[in-house]
Amino acid sequence: MVYKACGAILAGGKSSRMKFNKAFAKINDKTVLEIIIDKFTSFFAETVIISNQPELFRNFGLKVFEDVYPYLGPVAGIHAALYYARFDPVFILSCDIPFINMDMVAYMIERIDDHQAVAIEMDSYIHATAAAYSKRCLPVFQDCLENDKLKLTRIVQEMDTLILREDELRQFGNLSELLLNVNDPVTLKLAQEIAGRLRL
């Protein structure tokens, strides 16, 4: 089933801990970005990349959009995704989360209803860059950007967000693996071990 929704990959981070662009970290013979693209393009009616370095992503056959409000972090990235997406809702995913479970993504999208967003809370932390957003919250992000309110988790907490907790999502697998951020050499090594076990 293809969902009439947009999958937006945020690829705007500086990757300072990885020492190279984390989107291109390799797990087996694929980059993290390629793993995500493969999942998204077979699932969403539209897949886009959000980056202020569009030249790095021209060869993937996807539309690449830059921030409307450049260099203001993930809040600007999510705003750009909501602004440019042709479909609603928009599932946002950071470019360093290769093990996202698409059945869980479907579950999140289907729960959005009249909420502005659906996000996961694990270990008292809200994962706002692996979350579903309605275009209805675009004005919220614009207002935050124009008023220098750039703490993403606080924005998500203050919106009408359906928060899903670990117990509810255990059916989809180990959340600490599904939401693993491959953003340094240690987590890259862990990701390669997980991929070997999952035979990815």
User: 19 Cβ partners below 8 Å, 6+ apart?
Assistant: none
Per the CB < 8 A criterion, the answer to whether 149 and 155 are in contact is: yes
Calculate the average pLDDT of the chain.
93
End-to-end CA distance of the chain: 22
CA gap 19, 10 in Å, rounded:
18
- Sorted by where each begins, the domain ranges of the chain are 3-198
Tokens of 179: 């939401």
In this prediction, residue 199 has a pLDDT band, given cuts at 50, 70 and 90, of: low
Q: Say if residue 22's pLDDT is above 90.
A: no
Domain 3-198 has CATH 3.90.550.10: yes
**Residue 111: C-alpha distances to residues 108, 119, 166 (Å):** 5, 10, 15
The CA distance from 190 to 195, in Å, is 9
- The whole-number pLDDT of residue 1 equals 83
pTM of the model: 0.94
Dihedral of the CA atoms 179, 181, 186, 189 (nearest 10)?
Answer: 70
pLDDT (0 to 100) of residue 15: 52
